[in-house]
Amino acid sequence: MENKNLTLVTEFLLIAFTDYPGWTLPLFFLFLFIYLITLLGNLGMIILIRVDLRLHTPMYFLLSHLSFMDICYSSVTVPQMMAMLLEHGTVLSYTRCAAQFFLFTFFGSIDCYLLALMAYDRYVAVCQPLLYVTIMTQKARLGFVAGAYIAGLFSALVRTVSAFTLSFCGTNEINFIFCDLPPLLKLTCGDSYTQEVVIIVFAIFVIPACMVVILVSYLFIILAIMRISSARGRAKTFSTCASHLTTVLLFFGTLIFMYLRDDSGRSPQEDQVVSVFYTTVIPMLNPLIYSLRNKEVKDALRKILNRAKLS
């Protein structure tokens, strides 16, 4: 083995997009614009849900936590990505890289669990409407959200400890926008079988497990909608799920493309574009999806705007 491959890595150099120096400023201002819209949109959604009594329902309670997670999730990666563009590469210490990986995994896992809980909420609302109030009580909602946070914390802890007990050697360059698992595994040396098995097993309890809950919930929802006799009734019932379904397809579609596909033929540029989409673009789109496709949110927003004009 060459001497350079025996050198242990103690810091990491993020170099995403540095191959295109002419795009530095345009990308910086684009990401800044998206990040500001993400903060304003999600914070606005949280405030709207808090101040409008009509939105004090289980679905919007879960949505407010999803918006909060989107703010945190985006804030872990986007500010650093903008700094990387201005500095033409960012050096991260071992500890800082581990902290970013932990936070990203923590917030991302909670996002997945919340989307699964929202699918269950829609299942109860459509398939068991008479029992909805008794099932989705305030105590149950708090328990569901607390469970999502605890499961996200446990998953992030296990995956971070497993990933950062690996030995990294050779080059310290990560051609990616943040410290994520796929590029980190490319820097490992020595026997990493046990840690990789643990990481994969716990990954199964996040993406595939949440997808099973969502798929089963929507299977029952579709069956219930098909039993509705009128076309208008079917359309009205489906419209209550449309925003959530759109968010699920966007979020899980990109996660599957990024983490559950074959490594052969993958290019760093392709991974960078996909990662930008699910870390930057989707958190911005979520409040837009729920405000544009949801009558209750549009009515609440219109009410607040009219109140502001009169005051």
Whole-prediction pTM value?
0.90
Decide if 59 contacts 122 (C-beta within 8 A).
yes
Q: What is the pLDDT of residue 71?
A: 95
The dihedrals phi and psi of 280, each to the nearest 5 degrees, come to -120, -50
Decide if 183 contacts 104 (C-beta within 8 A).
no
First-residue to last-residue Cα distance in the chain: 73
* Angle between helical axes of 94-127 and 138-163 (0-180°, round to 10): 150
Distances (CA, A) of 3 to 8, 17, 137, 170, 224: 11, 29, 62, 9, 64
- Which residue carries 């407010």 as its tokens? 64
Mean pLDDT per 10-residue segment, the chain (311 residues):
57 84 88 95 93 90 95 93 87 91 94 95 93 94 96 91 84 86 81 71 79 94 90 83 89 81 68 86 89 77 76 65
Q: What is the pLDDT of residue 7?
A: 66
- C-alpha closest to that of 122 among 108, 104, 107, 136: 136
Q: What is the pLDDT of residue 270?
A: 80
CA 225 – CA 216 distance, rounded (Å): 14
Exposure of 7 in the CB half-sphere (CA atoms within 13 A): 10
Can you spell out the DSSP letters for 19-36?
Answer: T-GGGHHHHHHHHHHHHH
Q: Is 188 helix (H, G, I), strand (E, B) or coil?
A: strand
Distance between alpha carbon 212 and the CA centroid of its chain, in Å? Answer: 17
Q: What is the pLDDT of residue 261?
A: 66
